[in-house]
A and B are shown apart, each in its own frame.
Chain A
Amino acid sequence: MLRVESLSRSFGGVAALEEIDLAVADGEVVGLIGPNGSGKTTLFNVITGVHPVDSGRVLLRGEDITDQAPARIVRRGIARTFQNLRIFRRMSVHENVWVAQHSLPGVGPMTLLSGRSAGERARRAEVDGLLDAVGLADRRDALAGSLPLPDQRRLELARALARSPALLLLDEPAGGMTPAETAEMAALIRDFAVPGRTCIVIEHKLDLISALCQRLCVLNFGRKIADGAPQEVLQQSDVLEAYLGRDAGDA
């Protein structure tokens, strides 16, 4: 599905990503972990075209998408969520998911102005279905900015799914959640988001990672230091040192 080849990116002389290689197969769920500032979010940004690459390539289903405009990359079937929550705060919950359909095939410029066609009604119903699935049906008409944080994360997930992406990039989907909320989120992703698609999940919470991922990839200072089955990776000494050791120290 996705292949990243010796990808490098630096900001003002500081290497955020160095020679990253990563291949994700169809239907795989890969966990991306590493300490803060290790380059996880930068990797998402480079894949989705937000940041240009310095060197290396990104391939989606074998096609080179390196340095294309973000909108074009996204239209090829990628959707993502954001670590620091990005929603349209001045729009309603329903609208936030509805807007994700704007660039889907069949919703061309001609359908932009026709609010009440059959196709449009079906798409509205689809949005309501998604909101129901993530548990936001009763907040449908609330202003998105007024939602509590866990609901905003759910909303981001629904919005990403509204594009029926082949590849889903989740950036800390349980960030800032309590253990109970995290467990709920993990179940939601496992039962509803994962089936039928490929996922990369950035997360610090190991219970979420272990509930979802068949494979773990560890970044540290912009380099990949481990890649493999979760049990094996988490026992590697440099991973423990880089990630868990520092994480424990932080806490």
Chain B
Amino acid sequence: MGGDYLIAVLSNIGMISFIALSAYLLLVVGEISFGQQAFFAVSAYGSGIATAMWGWPIWLGLLWGALVAGVAALVVAIPTVRLRGLYFSVATLAFAEMVRLILEIFTYQVEIDGELVGPNGSDGFRDIRAIYDSNVSAFEYLLIIYGLLAVVLVGFLILERSRLGAIFRMIGEDPMLTEMQGLNVTAHKILAVVLAGVVAGIGGALYAHLTTYVEPKIFNVMLGVHGLAYGLIGGLGTAFGPLIGVAIDIGLLESIRAISGYRMIVFGGLVAVLLIVRPRGLLDEAAVHWLRVRWRELRRGLRRGWRRAEG
């Protein structure tokens, strides 16, 4: 197992984590999305077009990708946010498949240095070479991926301690009761969908520049449903949950060679059993709450001990 392979696996874990976090945010507000891969796709194409065709710098391309994804999420959110449960889920699925199928026929190419560059329907979009042109090594790019992931994760952790995060959890548990606290459920849900779109978008933009080549069929529903499953495996109590889910699937199982041909058989069975025991994942709200209380007690105990030692 060489270093390149390790970097590739870690990069993949990093990028899929964005989709998992994106789906997780919607699970927190009580909605299941089968369509987060659409925002990943929109941003991959958008940022690729910006850097490869318009010659924008990478950082601006990434920002642009996230922005495009956010706008796309807003466009989906407005008509669908009133739908509940399965209706919302299927609407996100329909939207995501529409995006993928439109990308299958979407052609927009310009000639750069005697070569045609740009998305070409189902043949995909080649030569998104911005990171190679600016001599960013695979390892440096890995650091960029994890740096951005850390920023997003810190954002989630701040959110979770804030009133806004509490509002998202309230909506996930009981929208009517949330409304009865004087809160506009619809507006907050739209906000959640847009934020989730932006998070997926960051992942998509990073992905396009890592692989330099994207094609529509990568963004099929399997990508989105995997992202969804990761949150439920790792747990819905904290943003670390989806990351744990990703780590278990890609990090652990992919690296055990003995089960390579049977990975999904083992993984599927394990997860099904896990969901029987813990329907909201390993780190569900109760587990996180328990940990938080223990942590607080520990800190209090330490402080008391410290004072005693001083005095």
Binding site for B on A (CB under 8 A): 48, 50, 69-72, 74-75, 79-80, 82, 86-92, 95, 98-100, 102-104, 107, 109, 111-115, 141, 143, 163
Query: Which DSSP category, helix, strand, loop or mixed, fits chain B's interface?
Result: helix
B291 to chain A, nearest CB (A): 12
A90 adjacent to B181 (CB under 8 Å): no
- Residue from A82, A88, A100 in contact with B169 in the complex, judged by beta carbons closer than 8 Å: A88
Contact assessment for A95 and B166 in the assembled complex, using a CB-CB cutoff below 8 Å: yes
Is the pair B286, A103 in contact by a Cβ cutoff of 8 Å? no
Q: Does B137 contact A (CB under 8 A)?
A: no
Q: Is the CB of B173 within 8 A of A90?
A: yes
Given the known inter-chain contacts A88-B169, A99-B170, please indicate yes or no for A71 contacting B162, CB distance below 8 A.
Answer: no
On chain B, the residues within 8 Å of A92 by CB distance are: 289
Query: Contacts of B1 on A, CB cut-off 8 Å?
Result: none
> Which of B47-55, B117-125, B182-190, B302-310 lies at the binding interface?
B182-190
**Other-chain residue from A89, A100, A115, A143 in contact with B181 (beta carbon distance below 8 A):** A100
The docked-state distance in angstroms from the alpha carbon of A71 to that of B185 is: 8
Among B164, B169, B176, B185, contact of A113 (Cβ-Cβ < 8 Å): B164
Interchain CB contact under 8 A, B286 and A80: no
Given A107-B163, A112-B162, A112-B163: A69 and B182 interface contact (C-beta under 8 Å): no
Tally chain B residues at the interface, Cβ within 8 Å: 26
CB distance from B18 to the nearest CB of A (A): 21
A114 and B162 alpha carbons, distance in the complex (Å): 7
**A109 vs B162: C-alpha distance when bound (angstroms):** 11
A95-B166, A102-B181 as given contacts; A88 in contact with B176, CB under 8 Å:
no
Minimum C-beta distance from A43 to chain B (A): 16
**Residues on B with beta carbons closer than 8 Å to the beta carbon of A95:** 166
* Cβ-neighbour of A71 out of B169, B179, B285, B293 (below 8 A): B179
Known: A89-B173, A90-B285, A141-B293. A113 touches B158 (CB 8 A): yes
Check if A143 sits within 8 Å of B163, measured CB to CB: no
Contact of A102 with B167 in the complex, beta carbons under 8 Å: yes
Q: Are A90 and B169 in contact (CB under 8 A)?
A: yes
Instruction: Tell me if B177 is interfacial: C-beta within 8 Å of chain A.
Output: yes
CA distance A87 to B173 in the complex (A): 9
Specify the chain A residue showing the minimal Cβ separation from B289: A143
A174 vs chain B, min Cβ distance (A) = 20
Which A residues are CB-close (under 8 A) to B166? 91, 95, 98-99, 102
> Smallest CB-CB separation from A87: which chain B residue?
B177
Cβ–Cβ contact B180 & A103, under 8 A: no
25 contacts between A and B (CB under 8 A): A50-B176, A69-B184, A74-B179, A75-B182, A79-B180, A86-B174, A88-B170, A88-B174, A90-B285, A90-B286, A91-B166, A91-B285, A99-B170, A99-B181, A100-B181, A102-B163, A102-B166, A109-B164, A112-B163, A112-B167, A113-B159, A113-B163, A114-B162, A115-B161, A143-B286
Q: B180 near A80 (CB under 8 angstroms)?
A: yes
Residues of chain A within 8 A (CB-CB) of B182 are 71-72, 74-75, 102-104, 163
B174 touches A103 (CB 8 A): no
In the bound complex, CA of A141 to CA of B170 (Å): 17
A99–B180 alpha-carbon span in the complex (Å): 11
